[in-house]
């Protein structure tokens, strides 16, 4: 069985092993594959694995031997799912492998904005503490999280884990979710979307990117937020209208944003958020802890093994 991994570098830049997956067939691993190279490299493969390399209708049509696409991620928007189903191609993903790492990044951003650890560490290195007249100094607001209201949009694995951490900080937790009140623990209160933007001190995005959620954060919803509010996005960049957010930050309409994702990755140099006031951006690394990537490769192996044995798991419907 021929297996081709089209863009393996992000998941495994060399600190993990492909050996388990290689044990399942004749396996070729490419670090990166351009759109023009996909058909040539995947020719004759029954199984291909992809992270961000797009597999569209035309690509599938050019690969008659293709029977299985494994997405090395939870999101599967890089695959034309309808075309795959029409051709009888099984598509699997890796659910919940990075839940704890992503929730950790949510609070890394929240804590960085609330206490400015990196900023104050840099100021100490510059000698500002040594030359200070008082025993301490700070030059940004310092924010205590207890009793602050956090609104979580999307209460799946990561949203719920984020909520549990927030509860541990003594925060008031609200959620915009399809779950009913009866499905939520008493510490999480359900709110409508605009109400959540209007009332919460922190809003964190954990919903999938769909036609309905595209630009769910727009100028109108940003105008509802408190002047002291913080926006966090570790989901998908296009959940946010980036120009609208840059405008809101630069005009001090809201206080700050912590982002691990942008609409274009890597970002264009003229992305307005790269220079926006109080906008803290990490380069899509919330998912990338070694522990999370180890789980990802293990589940990818289990998905392929189950497919070979005729008992598919983690199939995208």
Radius of gyration of the chain (CA): 22
Q: Which entry of 109, 284, 293, 295 is annotated as an active-site residue?
A: 284
From residue 272, alpha-carbon distances to 121, 127, 254, 263, 264 in Å are: 27, 32, 16, 11, 12
284 is catalytic: yes
Q: Considering the domain boundaries, does residue 70 fall inside one?
A: yes
Confidence check: pLDDT of 67 > 90: yes
Sequence-ordered list of residues with C-beta below 8 angstroms from that of 299, at least 6 positions apart, any chain: 94, 97, 314
Q: Which of 58, 86, 265, 291 is catalytic?
A: 265
164 is catalytic: no
In a domain? residue 317: no
Stretch 48-74: mean pLDDT:
97
The per-residue pLDDT for 280 is 98
Residue 265 designated active-site: yes
Asked if residue 130 belongs to a domain, the reply is yes
What tens digit of pLDDT does each residue of 292-312 get? 999 999 999 999 999 999 999
pLDDT attached to residue 77: 87
Average of pLDDT values for 25-47? 97
The mean per-residue pLDDT over the stretch 35-40 comes to: 97
Domain membership flag for residue 159: yes
Q: Give residue 41's domain range.
A: 2-96+290-308
Number of C-alpha atoms within 13 angstroms, CB side, residue 204?
30
On whether both 145 and 91 belong to a single domain, the answer is no
Whether residue 57 has pLDDT greater than 90: yes
Residues 146 and 269 in one domain: yes
Smallest CA-to-CA distance from 53 within 67, 69, 66, 68 is with 69
The CATH number given to whatever domain includes residue 249 is 3.40.50.720
The pLDDT assigned to 257 comes to: 98
Is there a domain that residue 268 lies in?
yes
pLDDT of residue 181: 86
Confirm whether 315 is domain-assigned. Answer: no
Same domain for 182 and 65: no
Looking at residue 120, its pLDDT comes to 96
- Distance separating alpha carbons of residues 213 and 100, to the nearest angstrom: 23
What would the pLDDT profile of 80-131 be if each residue is shown by its tens digit?
999 999 999 999 999 999 999 999 999 999 999 999 999 999 999 999 999 9
| pLDDT at res. 75 | 86
Is residue 295 domain-shared with residue 164, that is, in the same domain?
no
The number of folded domains in the chain is: 2
Residue 159: its pLDDT value, please?
Answer: 97
Residue-wise pLDDT for 165-219, tens only, equals 999 999 999 999 999 988 999 999 999 999 999 999 999 999 988 999 999 999 9
Classify residue 317 as exposed, middle or buried by CB count within 10 Å of its CB (0-12, 13-18, 19+). Answer: exposed
242 in the same domain as 139: yes
Q: Please measure the distance between the N-terminal and C-terminal CA atoms of the chain and give it in whole angstroms.
A: 24
On whether residue 313 sits in a domain, the answer given is no
255-297 pLDDT, tens digit per residue, is 999 999 999 999 999 999 999 999 999 999 999 999 999 999 9
Same domain for 277 and 297?
A: no
Residues 271, 165, single domain; the answer is yes
Q: What is the pLDDT of residue 63?
A: 97
From the list 120, 157, 236, 295, the catalytic residue is 236
33 in the same domain as 90: yes
What local confidence, expressed as pLDDT, does residue 290 receive?
98
């Amino acid at each position: 069985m021929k297996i081709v991994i089209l863009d393996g570098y992000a998941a495994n830049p060399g600190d993990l092993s492909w050996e388990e997956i290689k044990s399942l067939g004749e396996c070729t691993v490419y670090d990166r594959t351009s759109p023009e190279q996909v058909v040539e490299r995947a020719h004759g493969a029954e199984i291909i694995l992809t992270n961000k390399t797009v597999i569209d209708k035309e690509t599938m049509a050019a690969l008659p031997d293709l029977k299985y696409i494994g997405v090395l991620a939870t999101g599967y928007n890089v695959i034309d799912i309808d075309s795959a189903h029409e051709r009888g191609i099984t598509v699997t993903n890796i659910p919940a492998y990075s839940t704890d790492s992503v929730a950790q990044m949510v609070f890394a951003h929240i804590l960085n904005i609330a206490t400015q650890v990196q900023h104050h560490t840099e100021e100490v290195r510059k000698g500002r503490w040594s030359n200070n007249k008082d025993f301490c100094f700070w030059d940004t607001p310092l924010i205590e999280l207890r009793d602050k209201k956090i609104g979580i949009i999307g209460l799946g694995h990561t949203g719920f884990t984020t909520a549990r951490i927030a509860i541990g900080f003594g925060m008031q937790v609200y959620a915009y979710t399809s779950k009913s009140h009866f499905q939520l623990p008493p510490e999480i209160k359900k709110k409508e979307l605009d109400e959540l933007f209007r009332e919460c001190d922190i809003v964190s995005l954990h919903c999938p990117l769909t036609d309905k959620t595209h630009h769910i954060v727009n100028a109108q919803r940003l105008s509802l937020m408190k002047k002291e509010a913080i926006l966090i996005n570790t989901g998908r960049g296009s959940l946010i209208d980036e120009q609208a957010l840059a405008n809101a930050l630069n005009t001090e309409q809201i206080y700050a944003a912590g982002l691990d994702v942008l609409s274009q990755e890597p970002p264009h140099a003229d992305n307005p958020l790269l220079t926006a006031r109080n906008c803290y951006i990490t380069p899509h690394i919330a998912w990338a802890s070694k522990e999370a990537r180890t789980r990802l490769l293990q589940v990818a192996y289990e998905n392929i093994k189950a497919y070979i044995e005729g008992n598919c798991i983690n199939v995208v419907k």
